[in-house]
Structure 1
Amino acid sequence: MATQELAQWIKQQTGAELARLSPVGGGCIHSAWRLELQDGRVCFAKTNQADLLPVLEAEADGLRALRQTLDAPRPLQIPEPLALGLAGREAVLLLSWLELQSSPQRGSQHDSAWGELGAGLAQLHRSSLRGGDERFGWGQDNFLGSALQPNRWNDSWADFFCQERLGHQLRWAARSGRSLPQGEALLKEAAGWLADHKPEPCLVHGDLWSGNAGQLRDGGGAIFDPAVYRGDREVDLAMAQLFGGFPASFFAGYQRCWPLPPGHQQRVELYNLYHLLNHANLFGGSYWQQSAACIQSLL
């Protein structure tokens, strides 16, 4: 990256000189950096090619929405967007720094921290109902990873999930020549399965796998890298069981704060099919077989 152009941009945005720039691992879309400023502040930055600025804009929008929803004192930490724009030929999102543990810790001594993170998510979901839109969707389309996530408003959760989530992914697959057998049959069945399920439209993180949450070194938890919209809160709890999953204490903490309704276990596989299809469309490989097997299992 062009370090000099980034340093100039950082000074314009923060009023401070860049003292040190260190790469941070873990990202699969953007380059990530730890920035130490001359005035002692530490920040986090994501950079990518300029035409991906809309992806970073959507992330900043989601982070602001989540932060505005949280009650004070904050039950969990969410990074604050500090600046966003172009530094030369690169798009940059500057965020507050979170001092995360180097790897997720599990076991009895860490159960309390994971439980607090679960309870914090429940508080966020519940708080988002105050003054929120009664529809499902979001004011703009955003991104799940690098994939476009359509968010057209809908009064019906069943219609929204089937059209904007599963239907979008199945149409994408078909355009790519990877039409999935029984996909259309599943859409029809899913609409019926969800017809009697009437969730409240909570603000959801939207991409809550274990790589987008963590424990802080000084205690407590954090969530980041969202793909927000107003939807069934169960989608966050479902995805938290996918791709490695969260420890049981996380779910127990959530349930203590705001128990999920009866039948939520039966919706987990359906909700997570969306993420399997998204991975198949983005990365291919065995995700196609997993998606097809999931559809077959659901039917």
Structure 2
Amino acid sequence: MPMGCPFLSLRFSLFLSLSFATSSSPFSFFKLQSPSSSIPKATSSDLLSLLASPSHSSSVNPSVADELKSCFKFLVPFTPINTRSSSDFKSPSSRRSLLKSLRDEQNELIWWPPEPVLELARLAFDSGGDPDSIHRALDPTVMPVPDVEGSKEDKCELTRTPYGRRFISQELNSYLEYLFKLIVERGPDVGLKVSLNRYDLFHGHLFIATETGRLGILFHAKEYPLYDKQVFPYYLGYCQKDSNVTYDDSINLRNILWLAPLPSNSTQGWIAPGVLLVLDAHPGGIVYRDLIPEYVNVVRTIYEDDLGNVVVDVNYLNVGDSQPDYQIFIC
């Protein structure tokens, strides 16, 4: 989560805000207690396994799997590959069928992204999850992060660093932009109305999954809800000032996950296509109960470092003055 104050991380400032909230607050600081049962606690590894190949999915406790799947809201249909026929999937581009609609084409770009994205996914996998495999794909040119919708005046630091970079491959940068736009377009299909602005959706965290080496991005929407004494009585730092994001049930859908296709470790093929989905963290559900840290359950945050090794933050910022001008900054 980016910085909302030059000196305090949002994670810490939210902890302080929640700690000193009055007991009359309508939101519980603590998680709902798990029902007494023999169902084991879900893990991030379980989550990622269910979004991989059938063989990965079968390793998850069936009861945990059923509960987790009930919290999956796919923005693009999920099409796992049967690993027994994974050799048929050596060249994703060669399998592109005659697409019948724009929606078909959008789905295909998630399942089987352009070659530069596949190459990056393969680099992450073949390196054993080494973040430097991704860093080496970045253009060394450093770009200062300009003012974003009045952020400078509010003393708001949206990014981890005051400068950013981009990938050497312009096709990679364009694909990142595509992901942000598709989330906004498809979000209403699953009940998530989201906007590209500095209070709502503007960033994601690129990671490499610890156990599988799979490349992914965890996006966070609803980043800075409006302070409200009755509805959301929590201060989140300078970046919250003048927020236009109302705190409501849509906060349950703020975690959006993209996973690149999963490479095979025995061939140059692929054992699972790409995935794009929203994780429903409604109170009482398994995502809320097992994957959301207690001190941020009010804002339903899944942390990227629970999913794997965090490599960079991907920011899509409106740096325009009179006209919108969205640009990628990788920090």
Structures share fold, TM-score greater than 0.5: no
TM-score (structure 2 length as normaliser): 0.29
TM-score (structure 1 length as normaliser): 0.31
